[in-house]
Chain A
Amino acid sequence: MTRTTYRIGVMFSTTGSYSVVARSMLNGAQLALAEINAGDGPIALEPVVVNPAGDLAQYRALARDLLGSGIRQVVGCYTSSSRKEVIPCFEKFDGLLWYPSHYEGFESSDNVIYTGAAPNQHVLPLVDYLASRVGKRAFCVGSNYIWAWENNRIFREALSARGGSVLAERYLSVGDTEFDQVIAAILEQRPDFVFNNLIGTSAYAFFRAFRAACRAAGIDQANDIPVASCTLSEPELQEIGTEAVDGHLSSSVYFSSLNSPENAAFLRAYSRACPDGPVVSADAEASYIAVKLLAATLAQAGTDESRFVRCAVANQRLPAPQGEVRIDPQTYHAWLTPRIGRSSRDGQFELLLEARQPIAPDPYLVQSSPRFATSMRPPLLRMVKS
């Protein structure tokens, strides 16, 4: 049988403020590439790996270089700002970006295949869990870019619909690690929990500083003011360090502690291929899935031309480490299985809840959001002293 080799781009910021997750994503992609190339399938993939180092201008330039060199399929990006930065380039060259990370939704580009979780697969299950099991008063913190802005908006509307409220929202620049004022405000407000949309080094510093501040104030942070995230993954728990690693809630479609033959095989292969880490994350699994689906799609399409790949990817299925994953033909997002976990001292997540089956992606929350936006108008009546 003749084997066709396709060149593909692999674009992750393996240096910079969110490099820990990005390196685990690169590991996931490279593991899938190795398995595909070692197999006897009809195609082989030749990766061209680039590192934008978290710099948006570099993302744009490198995407142009990859697509300009004739590559049509690229697996990459972690942040939404980087994805939005490169999409015009993919549209111009009619390339396809295989985006392997959870994101805030409200996007459905014909030039992107989304293998990470849409908001109905991460933030809405988390709101359900928090409102029913933890409390209804939230304090939101996040990195100052579209992921945190939009994820907080969705969170606020969903929590309000369940009778809850957001006491405050605070944003810091990506990479910022100065949290004294934010933590003082949280301790003053005493929310039921903190909803965290900080990424990378900012998130790790926040977890450490918040735990320390609570300890100094005699507060059992993990129980009294738990931190809930849609981003927190196992390699990041290692970055947080042993003093503050446990008791954090995370909503994710994958945890490395999942008990299934597919996941056990994935973990064995990953640790063999990447002994130096970082350990497996949900985004590493999504990158693994993206490359596997890309290979299956190229094999079916018989070409890497995007219009044929776009047709062939619809309804692709994969027995992934998280369970079955398939691509929705209308939105080009993935059916995934939502889960809630709580971090433990060994740097893993204890599974608290999981959906019984993969659920359909709903990137615009057409099926799961109110018709009208929550009014942000201040109350007309206010209690005053007589």
Chain B
Amino acid sequence: MTFRLLQNFKGGRALVITRRAGWETTLETTLAKLGVACDYPEIVDGRAQLDVGVLQPERDILFIDGDLEGAVAIEVNPASKLPPVPVIGLVGVEAPSRLKALVNLGATSFLRKPVHGGAVYTALFLGINQFLLRTDMYEKLQDLESRRRGRRAVIRAVVTLMQETGLNDDDAYSALRRDSMRARQSLELYCEEFLKRRARPPDTPERPSSITLQGVNKQAM
């Protein structure tokens, strides 16, 4: 996936978690110009009546008033630190503890209260695109991590091919890489399947090997 900047917010829905006091009119009218509708979830006993589970990241944006303590409970992904939808912090009291609380909720941009119309487009653009960028980076990290784990299979496949064919390590690696491209698979996935195809039945005696790799945990291989 390649990160692309979102520049048209038409069809978006802003869920504004705040106690309505009049200043939010500017936010609502400016968002309307940008094609974004506003909803104000009710706050009962200090908690916003909001089902986070049904939020859609392609549509919804949470604006959370940092002056409300614990009004929203968002389960931020422990690995990515990302909330389920973009979060924009509304900052009244500019205290480190409140800013920290908004950051912990996954806020990727901020708007000062009372909201100034000229600041809304920037906050929305930054908040949504930082969310998308971080989501994209997290997916890339996961992909790289998965490939890093798969390098074990590559090493084993290279060794196996060297044993079977007498190729040196460079040529064995090149052959596997070429075959993985032909199969339209990542090298790591191809090597895992290569090894699975050669997995001996439990009662088959181990084939003799003249090649060993130093520092490799044979037990795990």
The contact of A377 among B2, B7, B30, B34, by CB within 8 Å, is B2
Give the residues in chain B near A372, CB-CB below 8 Å: 4-8
Residue of B whose beta carbon sits closest to that of A376: B5
Once bound together, how far apart are the Cα atoms of A356 and B192, in whole Å? 64
Give the residues in chain A near B6, CB-CB below 8 Å: 371-373
**B194 close to chain A: CB less than 8 A:** no
**B40 close to chain A: CB less than 8 A:** no
Q: Which of A336-386 contact B (CB under 8 A)?
A: 363-367, 369-373, 375, 377
A-B contact count (CB 8 A): 49
Once bound together, how far apart are the Cα atoms of A87 and B10, in whole Å? 26
Query: What secondary structure prevails in chain A residues at the interface with B?
Result: loop
Once bound together, how far apart are the Cα atoms of A371 and B12, in whole Å? 11
Which listed segment binds B: A104-112, A192-200, A294-302? Answer: A104-112
**A331 close to chain B: CB less than 8 A:** yes
The contact of B121 among A106, A371, A373, by CB within 8 Å, is A106
- Docked-complex contact A108 and B7, CB < 8 angstroms: no
- Docked-complex contact B35 and A108, CB < 8 angstroms: no
- Docked-complex contact B33 and A330, CB < 8 angstroms: yes
Kindly name the residue among A108, A109, A367, A375 whose own CB sees the greatest number of chain B CB atoms within 10 A: A108
Q: Which of A106-149 contact B (CB under 8 A)?
A: 106, 108-110
Once bound together, how far apart are the Cα atoms of A87 and B116, in whole Å? 13
- Docked-complex contact A364 and B33, CB < 8 angstroms: yes
**B117 close to chain A: CB less than 8 A:** yes
Minimal beta-carbon separation of A120 from chain B (angstroms): 12
Minimal beta-carbon separation of A160 from chain B (angstroms): 13
Once bound together, how far apart are the Cα atoms of A367 and B8, in whole Å? 9
Once bound together, how far apart are the Cα atoms of A87 and B30, in whole Å? 17
- Docked-complex contact B34 and A366, CB < 8 angstroms: yes
Once bound together, how far apart are the Cα atoms of A330 and B36, in whole Å? 13
Minimal beta-carbon separation of B186 from chain A (angstroms): 17
- Docked-complex contact B4 and A364, CB < 8 angstroms: no
Q: A106-B121, A108-B30, A371-B8 are in contact. Are A366 and B2 (CB under 8 A)?
A: no
Minimal beta-carbon separation of B75 from chain A (angstroms): 27
Q: A106-B121, A108-B117, A375-B2 are in contact. Are A370 and B33 (CB under 8 A)?
A: no
Minimal beta-carbon separation of B26 from chain A (angstroms): 8
7 tightest A-B contacts by CB?
A366-B35, A373-B5, A372-B4, A373-B7, A366-B10, A371-B8, A369-B8
Which chain B residues have a beta carbon within 8 Å of chain A's beta carbons? 2, 4-10, 26, 29-30, 32-35, 117-118, 121
Which chain A residues have a beta carbon within 8 Å of chain B's beta carbons? 87, 91, 106, 108-110, 330-331, 363-367, 369-373, 375, 377
Could you give 22 example pairs across A and B, Cβ below 8 Å?
A87-B118, A106-B121, A108-B30, A108-B117, A109-B118, A110-B117, A330-B29, A330-B32, A331-B33, A364-B8, A364-B33, A364-B34, A364-B121, A365-B8, A367-B10, A369-B8, A372-B4, A372-B6, A373-B4, A373-B5, A373-B7, A377-B2
